[in-house]
């Protein structure tokens, strides 16, 4: 999909469409990744959006039906991912924008992140409000993926530092340290706080 670019507005619209389908099924969800760091920190264009959802076995086919012909989604792959609590992706045909849908693992951290998600108005025209991961969970997840990439992803580091610097003293450091500990990146939390000060 190289050479394709999206406006942040298109990103939000496609994400909102998928979110509405999840809500119609009674599924809890929130947006994480670079969309969340753009909401809490410094906005930037992104090639995909990350959604975390409490999907249950049997709901992959229903989601495919609800999204209809507007999205590419393999229902069987979705079902396998839901049962294994892994991720799968959807592609919006009109924009070729990709949604990575992560199935919540249902552990203590996953339940807390879902319960703590915050609703943010991300567009006024049209008006779009999305549930997003807290700033602290957004930073912790970015640190997790930064570590998974052998601590070489400048993009992840810039995103999370943007949130740290934007929020400053409004950041709940205790909550961030808790999330960082859960994800095994407590040492990186200290580094991010120091660099973002």
> SS3 string of the chain?
CCCCCCCHHHHHHHHHHHHHHHHHCCCCEEEEHHHHHHHHCCCCCCCEEEEEECCCCCHHHHHHHHHHHHEECCHHHHHHHHHHCCEEEEEECCCCEEEEEEECCCCHHHHHHHHHCEEEEEEECCEEEEEECCHHHHHHHHHHHHHHCCCCCHHHHHHHHHHHHHHHHHCCHHHHHHHHHHCCCHHHHHHHHHHHC
pLDDT of residue 90: 96
Q: Tokens at residue 119, please?
A: 């609703």
> 48 falls in which pLDDT band (50, 70, 90)?
confident
Domains in the chain (CATH in brackets) are: 8-132 (3.30.460.10), 135-196 (no CATH)
Angle at 14 between CA 167 and CA 124, to 5 degrees: 55
Residues near 112 by beta carbon (within 8 Å), at least 6 away in sequence = none
Radius of gyration of the CA atoms of the chain, in A: 16
Would you say 14 and 35 are in contact if contact means Cβ atoms under 8 Å apart?
A: no
Between CA 31 and CA 17 the distance in angstroms is 12
Angle at 68 between CA 63 and CA 70, to 5 degrees: 115
Would you say 23 and 67 are in contact if contact means Cβ atoms under 8 Å apart?
A: no
pLDDT of residue 10: 80
The per-residue pLDDT for range 57-88, each reduced to its tens digit, is 999 999 999 998 999 999 999 999 999 999 99
* Choice between 94 and 7, residue whose per-residue pLDDT is larger: 94
The per-residue pLDDT for range 8-31, each reduced to its tens digit, is 678 888 999 999 999 999 999 999
């Amino acid at each position: 999909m190289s050479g394709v670019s999206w406006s942040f507005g298109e990103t939000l619209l496609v994400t909102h469409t998928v979110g509405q389908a999840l809500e119609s099924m009674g599924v809890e969800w929130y947006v994480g990744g670079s969309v969340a760091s753009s909401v809490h920190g410094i906005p930037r264009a992104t090639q995909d959006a990350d959604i975390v959802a409490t999907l249950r076995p049997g709901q992959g086919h229903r989601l495919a039906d609800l999204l209809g012909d507007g999205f590419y989604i393999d229902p069987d792959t979705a079902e396998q991912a839901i049962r294994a609590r892994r991720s799968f992706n959807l592609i919006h045909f009109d924009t070729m924008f990709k949604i990575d849908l992560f199935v919540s693992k249902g552990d203590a951290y996953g339940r807390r992140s879902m319960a703590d998600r915050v609703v943010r108005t991300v567009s006024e025209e049209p008006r779009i409000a999305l549930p997003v991961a807290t700033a602290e969970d957004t930073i912790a997840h970015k640190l997790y993926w930064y570590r998974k990439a052998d601590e070489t992803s400048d993009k992840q580091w810039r995103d999370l530092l943007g949130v740290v610097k934007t929020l400053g003293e409004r950041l709940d450091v205790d909550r961030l340290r808790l999330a960082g500990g859960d994800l095994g990146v407590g040492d990186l939390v200290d580094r991010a706080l120091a660099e973002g000060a």
